[in-house]
Chains A and B, each alone.
Chain A
Amino acid sequence: SQTIHQWPATLVQPVGSPLSLECTVEGTSNPNLYWYRQAAGRGLQLLFYSVGIGQISSEVPQNLSASRPQDRQFILSSKKLLLSDSGFYLCAWSTLAGSPNYGYTFGSGTRLTVV
């Protein structure tokens, strides 16, 4: 069965420090991968998605970046965190639309607090 791992679960970082959040998927190959952010009291905002190794699409201009060094690994990074980067970050994967088990599966999330 497919599983998705996301870590760390919580993170407190000072303003200006770097960030690296990692997400890995097991049990499937060539998944579509996504990073979402959920700010307090707000809905989900798509940050990045990837349809393959090295292929990253950015939805929102910001000081965050994403990389996909391996087929089932997706990393969210920042060189210098801002207070506004605080939020709940969710990684997700999906199969191709139209495939029998099409859908999105989410990781357990990372609560990032920038202080």
Chain B
Amino acid sequence: AQSVTQLGSHVSVSEGALVLLRCNYSSSVPPYLFWYVQYPNQGLQLLLKYTSAATLVKGINGFEAEFKKSETSFHLTKPSAHMSDAAEYFCAVSEKDSNYQLIWGAGTKLIIKP
């Protein structure tokens, strides 16, 4: 069955440090992969998506993610964290076998230390 695993419900980094949020998925076919960000009491905003084009995907706010088929991973990174990056981040996958419904990870809350 399809699933998405986000390692770490909370990740804490210092301002200016590298941000790495991990996402692993299970899928038997090439999937679509998404990263969304949610600020408190707001909807979800698309950060970036993988749709079988380039494996390194650049998104908004300086984030990027790399699709690694061999590792079934789609980790989100940002070279230098800003205080404004504090939010919850969700990884999601959709594929033909699930009728392209989004399968969500549980989310990772990113905490930025000054």
Report which A residues bind B (CB closer than 8 A).
Answer: 6, 42-44, 46, 49, 88, 90, 92, 97, 102-109, 111
Contacts and interface: CB of A to CB of B under 8 A. Distances in A.
By DSSP majority rule, is chain A's interface helix, strand, loop, or mixed?
strand
A105 B46 contact: yes
Interface in B29-84: 32, 34, 36, 41-46, 49, 51
Contacts, number: 44
Looking at chain B, what size class is its interface with the partner chain? Answer: 20 to 34
A1 to B, nearest CB: 14
A69 to B, nearest CB: 23
A58 to B, nearest CB: 13
Nearest to B4: A43
Contact of A43 (B32, B45, B107): B107
Given A6-B43, A49-B101, 10 more contacts: A42-B106, A43-B105, A44-B44, A92-B44, A103-B49, A104-B46, A104-B92, A109-B41, A109-B42, A109-B43
B43 A97 contact: no
B94 interface: yes
Contacts of B42: 108-109
Contacts of B101: 46, 49
Contacts of B106: 42-43
A46 B103 CA distance: 9
